[in-house]
């Protein structure tokens, strides 16, 4: 039951229509929350949507949006955010991967409590774990082999499960839609930190998600490299751009064993250099120091 003055929470889900059973399960887990969302927006990213709301008796106002073309993950999420702004009655937006699952029934209530307690909290990142409770290292928003159960303020968040304060989005802007896939979370996180907003990793907020590899996507190596170049061209001070790209080129050479993968990566790197990266709004040096104190300088 919503208390007077509690943040109004919306849930946004973007799907390509190829996971109907998983979306069904996700929406059932949303319906079981002890704090029902004010609104639910479901975006069909280049795909039609079935009648989820009627079949599942979902709480809140449910808005389906069907797009004629796949705009990528950040583009689809921007559509959901734009639709929520039209209603004007949402304080917090929880965005969930379409193959995720809220295991606990108090997730939305706890999200609301966290934002209510800290007016400069802009982003809350969930812990992502598979059905066996294991969290992949790439889903822990810290450098190195860190305990996924250790929460605290961090420099980034997990794209699969997170919550935004709408006032933060209004100030720093939405997802970089042109990225389509890869590094869009870092672009948004760096903008938020540069404007003085805090990012909290809250491992008690669990999103169950199947274990996957980002390399499963055919475009992974190319867009990963292209977006890496775009990211630093947009957000880093000039002196740090060659340092960041040098570190990540070396890491790529050490990690990628596939010749085809390396060719695609370097092709994307060249694409990122040659093509426009969009707006350039580099972070302040004070932000560089802040990210460093939080454990992840923006060259790693």
**Token pair of 110 as six digits:** 């706890």
Of residues 18 and 274, which shows the higher confidence score?
274
In sequence order, the 6+-apart residues with CB closer than 8 A to the CB of 36 are: 2, 59, 60, 108
CA–CA distance, 182 with 13 (Å, rounded to integer): 18
The whole-number average pLDDT for the span 277-299 is 96
User: Would you state the pLDDT for residue 272?
Assistant: 97
> Cβ(82)–Cβ(158) under 8 Å?
no
Q: Between residues 267 and 60, which one has the greater pLDDT?
A: 267
pLDDT over 70 at 178, yes or no? yes
108 pLDDT band, cuts 50/70/90, is very high
Q: What is the mean pLDDT of the chain?
A: 92
Residue range 164-181: mean pLDDT, rounded: 97
Q: Given this model, what pLDDT does residue 5 score?
A: 65
pLDDT of 293 strictly over 60: yes
Q: Give the model confidence (pLDDT) of 236-269 as tens digits.
A: 999 999 999 999 999 999 998 889 999 999 999 9
Mean pLDDT, residues 158-171: 97
pLDDT of residue 137: 84
pLDDT exceeds cutoff 90 at 274: yes
| Per-residue pLDDT at 70 | 96
pLDDT, residue 292, reads 96
Q: What is the pLDDT of residue 6?
A: 78
- The pTM of this model reads 0.94
pLDDT at 220 over 60: yes
Percent of the chain surpassing pLDDT 90:
81
Q: How far apart are CA 80 and CA 89, in angstroms?
A: 14
**Does residue 52 have a pLDDT over 70?**
no
Question: What's the confidence (pLDDT) of residue 3?
Answer: 55
Cβ(123)–Cβ(205) below 8 Å:
no
Q: What is the pLDDT of residues 184-203, one digit of tens each?
A: 999 999 999 999 999 999 99
Question: Of 12-21, 109-118, 212-221, 245-254, which gets the smallest average pLDDT?
Answer: 212-221
Question: Which residues pair with residue 164 across a beta bridge?
Answer: 93, 123
pLDDT in tens, 129-150: 999 989 888 888 888 768 999 9
Q: What percent of the chain shows pLDDT beyond 70? A: 94
Radius of gyration of the chain (CA): 19
Confidence band, pLDDT 50/70/90 cuts, at residue 284: very high
Contacts of 246 (CB under 8 A, 6+ apart): none
For residue 214, the model assigns a pLDDT of: 63
DSSP string, the chain: -PPTTPPPEEEEEEE-SS-HHHHHHHHHHHHT-SS--SEEEEEETTS----HHHHHT-SSEEEEEE-SS--HHHHHHHHHHHHHHHH---SEEEEEETT-EE-STTHHHHHHHHHHH-TTEEEEEEEEE-TTS---GGGSSSSSS--TT--EE-S---TTEEEEEHHHHHHH----GGG-SSSHHHHHHHHHHHTT-EEEEEEEEEEE-----GGGSTTHHHHHHHHHHHHHHHHS-GGGHHHHHHHHHHHHHHH---HHHHHHHHHHHHHHHHS------PPPHHHHHHHHHTT--TT-
Distance in angstroms (rounded) separating the CA atoms of residues 224 and 136: 19
What b/e sequence results for 250-283 when a residue is b if at least 16 CB atoms lie within 10 Å of its CB, and e otherwise? eebeeeeeeeebeebbbebbebbeeeebeeeebb
């Amino acid at each position: 039951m919503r208390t007077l003055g509690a943040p109004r929470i919306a849930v946004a889900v973007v799907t390509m229509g190829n996971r109907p059973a998983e979306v069904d399960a996700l929406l059932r887990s949303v319906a079981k929350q002890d704090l029902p969302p004010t609104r639910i927006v479901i975006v069909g990213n280049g795909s039609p949507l079935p009648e989820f709301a009627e079949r599942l008796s979902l709480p809140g106002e449910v808005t389906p949006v069907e797009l004629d073309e796949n705009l990528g993950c950040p583009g689809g999420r921007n559509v959901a955010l734009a639709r929520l702004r039209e209603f004007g009655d949402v304080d917090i937006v929880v965005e969930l991967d379409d193959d995720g699952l809220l295991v606990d029934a108090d997730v939305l209530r706890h999200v609301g409590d966290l934002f209510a307690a800290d007016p400069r909290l802009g982003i809350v990142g969930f812990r992502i774990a598979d059905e066996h409770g294991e969290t992949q290292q790439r889903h822990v928003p810290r450098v190195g082999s860190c305990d996924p159960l250790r929460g605290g303020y961090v420099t980034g968040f997990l794209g699969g499960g997170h919550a935004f304060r709408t006032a933060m989005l209004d100030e720093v802007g939405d997802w970089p839609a042109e990225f389509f896939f890869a590094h869009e979370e870092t672009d948004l996180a760096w903008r938020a930190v540069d404007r003085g907003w805090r990012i909290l990793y809250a491992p008690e907020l669990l999103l169950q998600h199947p274990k996957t590899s980002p390399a499963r996507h055919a475009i992974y190596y190319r867009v990963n490299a292209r977006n890496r170049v775009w990211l630093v061209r947009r957000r880093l001070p000039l002196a740090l751009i060659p340092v960041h790209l040098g570190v990540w080129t070396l890491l790529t050479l050490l990690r990628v064993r596939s010749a085809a993968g390396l060719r695609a990566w370097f092709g994307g790197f060249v694409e990122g250099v040659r093509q426009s990266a969009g707006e350039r709004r580099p972070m302040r040096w004070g932000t560089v120091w802040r990210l460093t104190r939080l454990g992840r300088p923006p060259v790693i």
